[in-house]
Structure 1
């Protein structure tokens, strides 16, 4: 195993997730240089495809017995253990598997296609027997990878690694990450009912938003506008390892590796903010998207 973003080359699932996400990120940076930004659709499609094909092939080679669920593997469904896999493991196989890799080859295609934007990511998560056990979120344009580990979480860059632990928000202020293009109305309503000052901070991809919480750049991410398991699996794995609260917006556990991969809402924050945010969300539940 090679090194990726400062993560030591050791043969465990945490390091494998980091290596895969980091390598896919470097592929995407290369696509940006090769294709350029003149045609955003070509850039998005090329990035999605190359990252997906790399991840599917690498997982088939390194973990041939594991199932795979990728955002870009939905068009057709085959056994991911095929010689040149491009599609997801068949549902009937995946749902019986003990180990399932849940990946988003390019989270934030809009931001990826805009020159100078750094808020896009690659997600690689491992689900085992009912829970997330490893995950990595590569932020290629930022030169960082957030990774689970046996003793918590770390953030890695070219200089090395540091422990990653979610930080408590300042008293009387909550900075909440929201979509930069479609800020949900219910989060604006939430900001009005909370008994603290709220700053809405626009950020691109879901992975970049949750990473911003863990890196102390914002205090919370609240989303109810529709997502899938690959949008949150890796960031939630890292968030939990970093001591963050991560749940559905009704406070229940986010459950992965289901037949229907839709997982439309998520809350990630420091545990001290969870009760306040969950109560506020209940207060504005009439404004939640259908």
Structure 2
């Protein structure tokens, strides 16, 4: 079966928010199709990674040919890196975030990330995330910066913290004990960030190692929704860097930011999921 991408909305030609959303949704459709092909385990993981990556790279080459692309699924060559670091616009994509969850149908806690980083013309900052979309195809939902999500008023009696279901979150367990929080396990970094946007959780705190593509699109959407985002020490999250390793982050309701940062300052970080 040959997958054919749909026609992008007319606005995608000039509106990066619209394009990011369409790209994430098209990759999501492709991944849902891959899930129907009878593959299992590693074969399904590999097929999903490859199919979504190939589609996103091809569509970006067609619709934004002058922009650079940073993708988890592509080994970055020296020439690609030089182009990315000098470019004014870089698309940072994770074609399949939550590969393990994707390979375990009918799990829905996996996502597609598409973000745009642009160099700031005023020279005050190197660059910033200007558009982003996170698709959760198995839920039929896409969150984007063009129509930022409205975060509901706080509904939980206790703070809820999204954590990895596969790695022991020792640091987060200590944080949860201090602020009397409930831990909510789930897969995919993007799904964890979107859980804060969706009022499924109130915070996602990670210090166990990530890369730019793991958080760029989710952070763009979270910022557009008015959530607090930072490194674990409170410093800004920076993208399109020479070293794309971005090991930690905090995404939370603004009301929780001070408590979390204070805990980190007093106790440090050993590991987080």
Could you tell me how far 1:273 is from its partner in structure 2? 1.0
Provide Cα deviations, 1:122-143, integer angstroms capped at 9, x if missing partner: 0000000100000000000000
Asked if the contact 1:24–1:51 (Cα under 8 Å) also holds between the matched residues in 2, the reply is: yes
Aligned residues: 259
Asked if the contact 1:167–1:270 (Cα under 8 Å) also holds between the matched residues in 2, the reply is: no
The one of 128, 133, 136 equivalent to 1:136 is: 133
The aligned residue for residue 48 of structure 1 is 49
Provide Cα deviations, 1:90-113, integer angstroms capped at 9, x if missing partner: 111110100000000000000000
Q: Distance in 2 between matches of 1:218 and 1:28?
A: 26
Structure 2 portions without partners, runs of 5+: 120-126
Q: Distance in 1 between matches of 2:7 and 2:93?
A: 20
Could you tell me how far 1:243 is from its partner in structure 2? 0.5
> CA distance change for structure 1 residues 171 and 18 in 2, over 3 Å: closer, same or farther?
closer
Q: Distance in 2 between matches of 1:9 and 1:240?
A: 26
Could you tell me how far 1:73 is from its partner in structure 2? 0.8
Q: Distance in 2 between matches of 1:23 and 1:2?
A: 7
**CA root-mean-square deviation:** 1.8
Does 2:6 correspond to 1:23? Answer: no
The aligned residue for residue 146 of structure 1 is 143
Q: Distance in 1 between matches of 2:106 and 2:213?
A: 25
Does 2:115 correspond to 1:125? Answer: yes
Q: Distance in 2 between matches of 1:288 and 1:205?
A: 17
Q: Distance in 1 between matches of 2:152 and 2:162?
A: 15
> CA distance change for structure 1 residues 284 and 134 in 2, over 3 Å: closer, same or farther?
same
Structure 1 portions without partners, runs of 5+: 80-89, 154-163
The aligned residue for residue 33 of structure 1 is 36
Does 2:90 correspond to 1:100? Answer: yes
2:130 partner SS: strand
2:37 partner SS: helix
After TM superposition, the score normalised by the length of structure 2 is 0.90
